[in-house]
Amino acid sequence: MPVAEKLSSSQLVALLPEANPELLAETMVAFANADGGTLYLGLSEEGQPTGDIYPEEINGVFQQAEARCHPPIVVEWQQTEAGGAFIFVGHIRRSPELHTLRDGRVLVRTGAENRPLRGEQVRQLASTRSVGDYEAEAAPGAARAELDEHLLEEFVGKWEERQGRPLTQPLEDFLVDMGWLTAERVPTIAGLLLFGRHPQSFIPHSGLTFVRFEGVDLRQETGMAGYGRREEINGALPQIIQRTWEILQEELRRGAIVRSLQREEMWLYPPTAIREALVNAVAHRDYRLHGRGIEVRMFADRLEVISPGGLPGFITLDNIVEEHFSRNPRIVNGLFQWRYIEELGLGVDVMIEAMINAGHPPPEFRETPFSFTVIFRNVVERPPVSGVRLTMNERQDKALAFIQRHGRITNRDYQDLCPEVSPETLRLDLADLVERGVLLKIGAKRGTYYILR
């Protein structure tokens, strides 16, 4: 199989330059415990062949790595070549079991890292395994003919565009590999939701309700329902996202202004933040809960996106910015390949940054055992800061240069840049830049990072 161009490590991809059994085992466990993924053994972090992998040695490395994983992890390995060097490509599916390393560590894939879990996080992740893998189950009563051929054709085109190559295997086999058909060619829950003609006939309340209220409450002072518009949106998930987004654009657009002969749309809320919340709700809701669908409620002072099901896996309100876990990895992968999700694991970050950059407070997150809500407040806290010339010390110059290269900086990054300076001094440096409106602080505790305003 050819190696795709421009590979880099991410939520679903790991590039390993050497045949290191320990690192290989860690990555296998991290993928199996998270969304699954693809390992490229013999590629550098820049995506270049290293020439350090030899077929004669690789079976021994595989055996050593597999011996470190409990329970065993199934990896589908393929051998290929690039630039005269051997590369081994391994595909790992998300596992219904909790996997550990031989030393007891539990890892999950978060972004481009294998992140260790501890204590309560491990218990939370283990508890999610007990409910089964609902999206992979066969959709009760559905047949292959229930999938919409036009949606499948559109998806394949998007997939080929993202992959940079044509789909060569038979469509049926591809759908099985992606978890959208069972081996018996029956649509799975994920396949039916993504491509079904009428998914709601088989999975009740898998649609979305949009309601615009006239005031700030659900009811008027008279006790009557206070909404001015109500829309029930059904269909396959991409159709739900598209139709809901069209409605939101109608409701959130507030005219336009012309600057330097360029027309700029004016929005009640930053559209990027609202779209991310919508896509996240569709991708991550708990489809086992049939009592209600997703709700988007628009009030005079706020917009709420309510998704059935609490936070998945080991995600909590405290770590929601820094961690990533998908309740429905097959649905998420489908929406990612379809380009409704641009980069995995960054939805919450994008919402926060877009709201703050627009002068609004960051979104609020609320959780119950059966729902998760994102609330956007229609409040302008501060005007954008621009055109301010500031005097900074040499360390702060380094920090800004780092952010310009990488997009963000953490306290750990700053300490690596200035190892001779105390952590408290560096913390004060960053706090000073936040106070002066140069940087925005995102997250809390271990998940804190800073971006340019």
Domain ranges of the chain: 13-113, 144-201, 208-377, 394-452
Range name among 29-38, 104-113, 134-143, 391-400 with the lowest pLDDT average: 391-400
Peptide bond into 71 cis (omega under 30): yes
Average confidence (pLDDT) over 50-77: 88
Q: For tokens 């009592």, name the residue.
A: 291
Q: What is the pTM of this model?
A: 0.69
pLDDT band for 162, please (50, 70, 90 cuts). confident
Quote the mean pLDDT of the chain.
85
Integer Rg of the chain from CA:
24
Q: What pLDDT, on the 0 to 100 scale, is given for residue 74? A: 86
Q: For tokens 């109500």, name the residue.
A: 230
Q: What pLDDT, on the 0 to 100 scale, is given for residue 127? A: 73
Query: Is pLDDT at 134 greater than 90 in this prediction?
Result: no
Q: For tokens 């590629």, name the residue.
A: 43
pLDDT band for 388, please (50, 70, 90 cuts). very low
From the list 296, 286, 193, 203, the residue with the least C-alpha distance to 238 is 193
Looking only at the bridges linking them, the beta strands covering 371-377 and 262-267 are unpaired
What stretch of H or E contains 431? helix 423-435
Its sign, for the CA torsion 432, 438, 443, 448, is: negative
Q: What pLDDT, on the 0 to 100 scale, is given for residue 39? A: 93
Query: Is pLDDT at 131 greater than 70 in this prediction?
Result: no
CATH level 3 topology of 208-377: Heat Shock Protein 90 (3.30.565)
More confident residue, 343 or 83: 83
Query: Is pLDDT at 255 greater than 60 in this prediction?
Result: no
CA distances from 17 to 26, 103, 302 (A): 15, 24, 49
Percent of the chain with pLDDT over 70: 89
Query: Is pLDDT at 226 greater than 90 in this prediction?
Result: no
Average confidence (pLDDT) over 66-79: 90
Type of residue found at 254: R
| Calpha distance 94→35 (Å, rounded) | 5
Query: Is pLDDT at 296 greater than 90 in this prediction?
Result: yes
From the list 108, 102, 38, 107, the residue with the least C-alpha distance to 76 is 38
Q: Where are the beta strands (DSSP E) in 34-99?
A: 37-41, 69-70, 75-82, 85-92
Q: For tokens 């030899």, name the residue.
A: 54
Range name among 8-22, 287-301, 335-349, 387-401 with the lowest pLDDT average: 387-401
91 phi and psi, to 5 degrees?
-105, 125
Q: What pLDDT, on the 0 to 100 scale, is given for residue 386? A: 43
Query: Is pLDDT at 142 greater than 90 in this prediction?
Result: yes
For residues 328 and 284, the answer to whether their CB atoms sit within 8 Å is: yes
More confident residue, 406 or 159: 159
| Calpha distance 318→324 (Å, rounded) | 12
Query: Is pLDDT at 385 greater than 70 in this prediction?
Result: no
Q: What pLDDT, on the 0 to 100 scale, is given for residue 263? A: 59
CATH class of 13-113: alpha beta
Q: Supply the DSSP symbol for 147.
A: B
Q: What pLDDT, on the 0 to 100 scale, is given for residue 176? A: 94
pLDDT band for 389, please (50, 70, 90 cuts). very low
Query: Is pLDDT at 216 greater than 90 in this prediction?
Result: no
Average confidence (pLDDT) over 105-109: 92
For domain 394-452, give its CATH number from 1.20.1530.20, 1.10.10.10, 3.40.50.1820, 1.20.1050.140.
Answer: 1.10.10.10
| Calpha distance 196→151 (Å, rounded) | 8
pLDDT band for 291, please (50, 70, 90 cuts). confident
**Beta-carbon count within 10 A of 373 CB:** 18
Query: Is pLDDT at 43 greater than 70 in this prediction?
Result: yes
